[in-house]
Amino acid sequence: MALLLAGISLLAAVQACTVTPVEVPGGCTSLPSYDSSSGIAGPWIVEMNQCVNTTAPDKACSIEGFGSEAVYLLQQGDTSVQRGYIAIVSENDLAKSPLRCNDATDSFESYVPSGVSGYEWKSVNITDMPYSAQLMWGLGQYSLPIQAYYHYLDGVKQDGIFLGAHNVTSWAVQLQDGSAGSGGKPYWLVRLLGPGSADPVTGAELEHGEYKTFIRIYGS
Ligand SMILES: *[C@@H]1O[C@H](CO)[C@@H](O)[C@H](O)[C@H]1NC(C)=O
Ligand SMILES: *[C@@H]1O[C@H](CO)[C@@H](O)[C@H](O)[C@H]1NC(C)=O
Ligand SMILES: *[C@@H]1O[C@H](CO)[C@@H](O)[C@H](O)[C@H]1NC(C)=O
């Protein structure tokens, strides 16, 4: 009997930790720093929130609160920057790239390197590959939009507004070696842990070296 009760309270504890994402209604209007004359909310940094270090005994995550940066990708034959990742910085004093919500393009946008030497606001999407739904700009048609969500716990709205898609706000982050597009600094690549994102062979939710996190709009 004691064992059964222990089992039940454990289950309750696990479920209590599971928040329900609910899409923020009204396009950009409910997001921080919304300006009705421009139809734009932001710009703001997005940051790691409630990240879990599955390999640390106390689950403490050293990159909690670290912000977003743009890491451009140059593929063979590219003579200018067309696309890249919205990633998380590996040192929080590195330069960040802001995001904003733009009603005119009905999307989140980031201020990113573009062309030969410029910077522009570009729409940010996730790829349409469930297993590697990375957050990127310049994706085009093979991509899905992201949304803003509130978190509810046992019917109670929690602090914060979070990025996600498919009613999922959990992301995996994994450290990558520095490249030209990251100014030579390592960076944390993010992918959505949405439907079909588990490893197709092992069924594992996270790959080796990946940690789980929410991505919160700073100031929300
Ligand atoms: C996670 O925990 C491991 C083991 O304690 C540690 O080596 C690593 O630096 C931690 N990573 C983060 C991101 O907290
Ligand atoms: C983002 O995804 C939407 C929906 O699939 C698509 O219409 C749009 O072109 C994509 N935008 C970019 C910049 O990839
Ligand atoms: C997200 O949840 C809402 C409310 O339960 C539901 O109406 C909607 O269809 C869901 N969207 C997706 C993509 O699952």
Q: Is residue 4 part of a domain?
A: no
Domain that holds residue 193: 20-217
Q: Is residue 2 part of a domain?
A: no
Which DSSP string do the residues of 102-115 spell out, in sequence order? Answer: ETTTTEEEEEEEEB
pLDDT in tens, 138-196: 998 889 999 999 999 999 999 999 999 999 999 999 999 999 999 999 999 999 999 99
C-alpha closest to that of 217 among 170, 169, 162, 166: 162
Task: Output the pLDDT for position 51.
Answer: 95
**Interval 11-27 mean pLDDT:** 74
Q: Is residue 3 part of a domain?
A: no
What residue has token string 């009613």? 167
Question: In this structure, how many other beta carbons lie within 10 angstroms of the beta carbon of residue 160?
Answer: 18
Does any ligand 3 atom lie closer than 6 A to the CB of residue 122?
no
Q: Which ligand is nearest to the CA of 211?
A: 1
Over 90: is that where the pLDDT of 41 sits?
A: yes
Over 50: is that where the pLDDT of 11 sits?
A: no
Atom number, ligand 3, closest to the C-alpha of residue 167: 1
Please, which residues have CB within 8 angstroms of residue 108's CB and are 6 or more apart in sequence?
99, 100, 101, 102, 123, 124, 145, 146, 163
Q: Is residue 46 part of a domain?
A: yes
Q: Is residue 209 part of a domain?
A: yes
pLDDT in tens, 93-149: 999 999 999 999 999 999 999 988 899 999 999 999 999 999 999 998 889 999 999
Task: Output the pLDDT for position 17.
Answer: 63
Task: Output the pLDDT for position 75.
Answer: 83
Q: How many domains does the chain contain in total?
A: 1
pLDDT in tens, 63-95: 999 999 999 998 888 889 999 999 999 999 999
Over 50: is that where the pLDDT of 12 sits?
A: no
Does any ligand 3 atom lie closer than 6 A to the CB of residue 132?
no
Confidence class for position 15, pLDDT limits 50, 70, 90: very low
Alpha carbons 207 and 198: distance in angstroms, whole number: 9
How far does the centroid of ligand 3 lie from the alpha carbon of residue 22, in Å?
A: 8
Q: Which ligand is nearest to the CA of 186?
A: 1
Alpha carbons 67 and 113: distance in angstroms, whole number: 17
Q: Is residue 11 part of a domain?
A: no
Q: Is residue 51 part of a domain?
A: yes
Does any ligand 3 atom lie closer than 6 A to the CB of residue 158?
no
Which pTM value belongs to this model? Answer: 0.91
Does any ligand 1 atom lie closer than 6 A to the CB of residue 174?
no
